[in-house]
Amino acid sequence: MTARSTWAPSSRASGSPTTSSVITTRRCSGALAATTIAPCSTTAWTRSTASSTRSARSGSRRTACRARAETRRAQGLDQLIDSGAAPPPEIYLLNNNIKPLHTDQFSGGLRQQIGPISASGTLTYARSKNGLGYYPANRVATGTRDFLPQPAGFGNVILATDDRESRYTAVQVQVDKPLNYDFSDYGIAWGASAAYTLSWAKERGDVFNFDFPTIEDSPWVPTITDERNRVVLTGIVKFPYDFLLSTFIQLGTGLPYSITDQSAGTAPDQVVIRRNGGRDDKVWEFRQVDLRVGKDFGLGAGHRISAFVECFNVFNSKNFGGQNGFIPFEGENADYGRPTRLVAPPRAVQLGAAYNF
């Protein structure tokens, strides 16, 4: 199979838009298989004014740059295919008897009212079955990463199955006090809530599975959203002149990250991958405190305007994730455990108003 790509700029006339397209054709055994025309520019219209003319020229330059980039990418693909370095196509097989995903969930709890305070405890359990996943059917079933010969002219044979599963178990304790004047010695209304969640989230299998012979042979591992402990605190105070001050506090032990262990060697049967097996050693890896100050202005007849100021992540806490989990065969990884991204935004402030009627 060969692929050829050409760039065809359109003609330009005064007062007409400037556009360009990448035209890609693929031929198999001399027969045209597909033709795709993909626009790769924005439209720039020329105007009589000098400023509009400069804008049109700038748009034309951007169009040419985009077109050259598309041409380079297409030429690189042509060279890869012509050299024979492109991998052969894989075969994907889908079983006609695959079942739809379904989840069974159970939740039960107790609630007790003690004066103005309510307390509750909840147990939640959920299990999902028949998740769709793929694994190579031509893999040796001994547990190594050796593969059987593929069909001539093709790569791996990828089989779809409904063997993926997941489980979630959580215990939550919560205490609430509504906004009122109870337990207040200064005539100021206040309310608060506190919630603690202890949870376990596990799964067997991923979308693509190449580390075990089948999905059923895969071990149960934590999910990427498995956070063991989480605390959420809220509070609200009503001051004179109807000013409201509220806060929202979140504390969490953080999410797991995967570990690739090559300490025993770099051969396929020596590398150990512990998916979502790493944890940060901080007590509270995730910390965020939000504040809000608001006031309502009555306009009569049920109309009012609400103005507010909000500050997210007041203390500008650095909430990181995506830790480096690579263990090399020789030496040490100086970046092991070091995060690679933010999982929550830095400090931000916003002003707002709402009209209610």
Segments of the chain with pLDDT less than 50: 1-57
Give the pLDDT confidence score for residue 70 in this predicted structure.
61
pLDDT (0 to 100) of residue 356 = 87
Q: Say whether 183 sits in a helix, a strand or coil.
A: coil
Q: What is the pLDDT of residue 148?
A: 75
d(CA 127, CA 123): 14
Give pLDDT tens digits for 120-165: 999 999 999 999 999 988 887 766 666 777 778 888 889 999 999 9
**Residue indicated by tokens 């149960």:** 220
Token representation of residue 296: 């309502």
* Dihedral, CA of residue 263, residue 266, residue 267 and residue 273, to nearest 10: 60
pLDDT of residue 69: 62
CA distance 141 to 163: 17
Write the CA distances from 273 to 43, 122, 215, 258, integer angstroms. 49, 35, 15, 7
User: In the chain, what are the domain boundaries?
Assistant: 2-83, 224-356
Q: Tell me the C-alpha distance between 140 and 138, whole Å.
A: 7
- In this prediction, residue 67 carries a pLDDT of 54
At residue 140, the pLDDT reads: 75
pLDDT at residue 269, as a whole number: 79
Rounded CA separation 156/137 (Å): 8
pLDDT tens-digit profile of 316-356?
999 999 999 999 999 899 999 999 998 898 999 999 999 98
- Whole-angstrom CA distances from 280 to 93, 321, 339 are 40, 9, 10
> Beta strands of the chain (E only): which ranges?
2-9, 20-28, 31-39, 91-94, 102-114, 117-136, 157-180, 189-204, 220-222, 229-239, 243-252, 257-261, 272-278, 286-300, 303-312, 320-321, 326-327, 341-342, 348-356
Cα distance between residue 325 and residue 339, in whole Å: 9
